[in-house]
Structure 1
Amino acid sequence: MTDGKAKPLGVILAGGLATRMGGGDKGLKPLGSGRLIDEVIARLRPQCASLALNANGDPARFAELGLPVLPDGLPGNLGPLAGVLAGLDFAAERGFSHIVTAAADTPFFPRDLVARLTEAAEKAGAPIALAATPGERGLDRHPTFGLWPVALREDLRRALVEGLRKIVLWTDAHGATTAVFPVDPFDPFFNVNTPEDLKEAEALLEAGT
């Protein structure tokens, strides 16, 4: 648990290949007068002590953001959990007890994400909290938006080395809880995967989301 005072390290997960967007970094796609990642940073920065970006490849393409760029510590593009591990390792070196992750292609996530995740973890006595929204068959979890304890980083490293890739299999094994966010008037975890999604994001931005 966090102590209720110290803010976590925020880690933006930007490791996707953006195949449905024609390749490249989705976070660097234009949105409004800036880019997707600019909106993500603007929402996450006030909620965290500091920010870092998880991305592989040449870090120079993100230089103007002024954020530490953390490559996956394990080879093979193992997915979001490898990005979580990179964030946990970076946080451990700097004395953080927790990180909160957010996806670089989801520009309208809640402005109280960190507070709600922290509250959910503390209330449930759980080490991990994931964001969720109501769905037709129960809760839809959004595991790239979560609160993660540095204390579990070696366990996560072992799981990845042993072949685990699905986030919720690992989080469920550790008794993760959820923080549930409303989807009215829009889904705050709407993510941009296609050019059509980008147009929808522009409309939401113009509407003052």
Structure 2
Amino acid sequence: MSTPVIGVLALQGDVREHLAALAESGASAHPVRRAGELAEIDGLVIPGGESTTMSKLAITFGLLEPLRERIRGGLPTYGTCAGMIMLADKLLDGRDDQETLGGIDMIVRRNAYGRQNESFEAAVDFTGIQGGEVEGVFIRAPWVESVGGDVEVLATHEDHIVAVRQGHVLATSFHPELTGDHRVHRLFVDTVRNGG
């Protein structure tokens, strides 16, 4: 497929920035708010935002189970920040009623880097991306505490795992969509184009 159709889960969070980054990376990008729209996409981005709010809205809009089914069924999916939390099989410091979609055999610590005023930017060496380090924007960011044997660690920051991939599912604890550097999005678009 020359121009993959990639949806951005548009319940809450930085949807517009991902739509723009995907379009600039060679995809046809569309917001996804309804379960029926999942059948029309070749890949999905779960943006940063507030993971507990996203979880509740996914339940309210009847998207939780359809999302889980599509991800389990092989839909290439990329989550940033809150999206990483949503893709975790297990959470630390999550709310008791918080649901995740799963998809990556990892344990994620929510808000691991602290509050909003402790947000920062840092250069990250990212496996599989050419052209030098990627600028990571960390906003109330999670990190990965541990991964299963099938998970590939793509990037770390100060000994914490901040980017991972398991099969067709990719996650970063930072926000590449906020930097103008679309190499991570291009990596994901290429993954979708190549069928996961």
Q: TM-score, normalised by structure 1?
A: 0.31
Higher relative contact order, structure no. (Cα contacts within 8 Å, ≥ 6 residues apart) = 1
More helix by share: 1
Q: TM-score, normalised by structure 2?
A: 0.32
Rg bigger for which structure? 1
More strand by share: 2
